Amino acid sequence: MQHGLRSGPSGVEGSRGCRGRRAMAWGGEVIRRLTRAHRTGKANRKKFDEAMGRHAEMVARLEELEVLRAQDEVVAAT
């Protein structure tokens, strides 16, 4: 290794800039993957929040129905 040159797997000497370009390309891929994962996470969170909202509505409706059923049972018993 002399004067900033290195020998690659093929025995051909190349500049250190090649390693930098590969690192930048890999860095770009990492950013792309992280961005995709972040978007997926946000979409999943939105779907989860919507499902939890529907769940809360259903629980409230079930409680209302249980109260009505209890009232009907009282009326039927009298």
- Provide the residue range defining the domain that includes 44: 15-77
Per-residue pLDDT of 44-66, as tens digits, reads 999 999 999 999 999 999 999 99
* Number of structural domains in the chain: 1
Whether residue 1 is predicted with pLDDT greater than 90 in this model: the reply is no
Asked whether residue 59 is domain-assigned, the answer is: yes
Q: Which helix (H) or strand (E) is 15 found in, with range?
A: strand 13-15
Q: Is 12 helix (H, G, I), strand (E, B) or coil?
A: coil
Q: Is 8 helix (H, G, I), strand (E, B) or coil?
A: coil
Residues 22 and 73: their CA atoms lie apart, in Å, by 75
Rounded to two decimals, the pTM is 0.57
Asked whether residue 21 is domain-assigned, the answer is: yes
Strand partners, 14: 6
Asked whether residue 5 is domain-assigned, the answer is: no
Per-residue pLDDT of 20-34, as tens digits, reads 788 777 888 999 999
Asked whether residue 8 is domain-assigned, the answer is: no
Residues 70 and 72: their CA atoms lie apart, in Å, by 5
